[in-house]
Structure 1
């Protein structure tokens, strides 16, 4: 009934569109097909799988358990097929109008994405680039189904479906406002511990890497403020005597707009490394190979 030789592969792309868009009309717009054509394809899919696949719930078509079971493998197979077809054709950066979606955590977008955009569009002026946030537990799925082409993140647990390239690590620096009454161009550990601190993180609780390093030394610091973004922390530092630690490249971007004192962190902290991730099915994609090479070269430059 479902042997590949007798199966219309176009139906799988239509199934994927209905699953992703939640309805026949939305899938038709996405695929630039008529609504009757999508409805007819859905009827054929239901016959092929002997299952309704989608049932109406309000204004959406909700997948059945059978549809949910095949959705991931179908998307991964379609992605692999697209990559194989792309690999068979030449990729011309100067001519392509392709959109690339790069997964970037909120904290990692600021230091390098603007320079990456300039570099990419210098070679491929007609491309579109999107910086897309993601949940780590969904990263493999997003890379498999094409919601992301590549992703930048810290070291993640190994997964046979993902490839990765180590991009390097960078030190933390401490930021204090100019004119700080206790900090003037240098910072020792005693002063660091005596002052209050800011953490910038999307996590609602938990220690920073500085706190873990201090704990190994039997020491603690006082975190007086917790916020979600480095820009907010920078603004708070500018109007207070608090200290804030962040990666050197982040600090360089913000310091160019709002100068502060940038100081060496007075305790040993192992800098966290970053990686470039992509799905194994996209390994042979020439367009992504070109983009990966640019990212590796651009992010390897000193901050």
Structure 2
């Protein structure tokens, strides 16, 4: 049985603040996550250092790194704090609610993830809120850190000790034109590509920017005549003009009949796009969320 008198003398909030610093390895990021000032975080850390007689974190380059005592404290805290969070959630009834917030590009919601969502909404009776991660003002790391998202599917991997990042799947990219294009059949030469005008996705999402850089290496002479902020706008302009463009295969398959589109064989092979699944490591302590992840793995 816990010694409640000793616990009463110890400020348990210090452990919460310590764990947040450990996850972000940053005083300022911990302060943002907990909605308190960096000064308050620093003062709390100093109090905990005094009580445990250890610096807990030391300077390393431009950041901080945990001491051995700090790393051991995290190992003990992570599981216990997660269990405490689950207990609070159960008392609040939130553990019983099968509700998830998912951020993913429209490429994936209309592709592989659509079958899973249909299963969850019909057979499992989940409530799912989905947002387009490409249009989100926050980064994927911030969405998870501030608990604004349960699951993120993105085109860019991240490296964060509190986040699980794993490959989700690959999907091909196709060169697309309208069926009535005045010059193009089912094949095109490199010389023919140089003469055509392209529609291109306008995005600051790192994965899309990196993919765009790869294609520019293959075809640096591409003439961009139109830029849109979604693949739907790209497909719409292609369907009504002689512009052509590269589009993920799942979206092309979804709209090719409606928009009267065709794919064209290129003189070189376009690289596939990679998608990654991100979620907080601590979320797996919830049996509802771990069941949700199991369903994704079964797809």
Pair in the same fold by TM > 0.5: yes
**How far did 1:296 drift?**
3.4
Matches within 5 A, 1:208-227: 209=211, 212-216=214-218, 219-227=220-228
Structure 1 residue aligned with 2:103: 103
Matches within 5 A, 1:122-141: 122-125=122-125, 127-134=126-133, 138-141=139-142
The answer (yes or no) to whether the contact 1:282–1:288 under 8 Å persists in 2 is yes
For 2:215 and 2:282, the matched residues in 1 are separated by 39
Structure 1 residue aligned with 2:143: 142
For structure 1, the 5+ residue unaligned runs are 14-52, 54-61, 89-94, 299-303
Describe the shift of the 1:78–1:272 C-alpha distance in structure 2 as closer, same or farther (beyond 3 A): farther
Structure 1 residue aligned with 2:172: 171
Q: Deviations over 1:67-121 (max 9, x none)?
A: 6778xx9xx9998346654999xxxxxx954210112245544434543321212
Structure 2 residue aligned with 1:285: 286
Q: Report the secondary structure of 2:160's partner residue.
A: coil
Describe the shift of the 1:259–1:7 C-alpha distance in structure 2 as closer, same or farther (beyond 3 A): farther
For 1:190 and 1:86, the matched residues in 2 are separated by 65
**How far did 1:225 drift?**
0.5
Matches within 5 A, 1:57-206: 64-66=37-39, 80-81=82-83, 84-85=86-87, 97-105=97-105, 108-125=108-125, 127-134=126-133, 138-203=139-204
Q: Report the secondary structure of 1:283's partner residue.
A: helix
Describe the shift of the 1:213–1:105 C-alpha distance in structure 2 as closer, same or farther (beyond 3 A): closer
**How far did 1:240 drift?**
0.5
Q: Please, what is the CA RMSD of the aligned residues?
A: 4.0
Q: Report the secondary structure of 2:111's partner residue.
A: helix
**How far did 1:5 drift?**
4.1
The answer (yes or no) to whether the contact 1:186–1:263 under 8 Å persists in 2 is yes
Is 1:245 aligned to residue 246 of structure 2? yes
TM-score when normalising by structure 1: 0.64
Q: How many residues align?
A: 237
Q: Deviations over 1:99-158 (max 9, x none)?
A: 101122455444345433212123312x21011345596433432443211110123232
For structure 2, the 5+ residue unaligned runs are 1-5, 17-30, 45-73
Structure 1 residue aligned with 2:19: none
TM-score when normalising by structure 2: 0.64
**How far did 1:192 drift?**
2.2
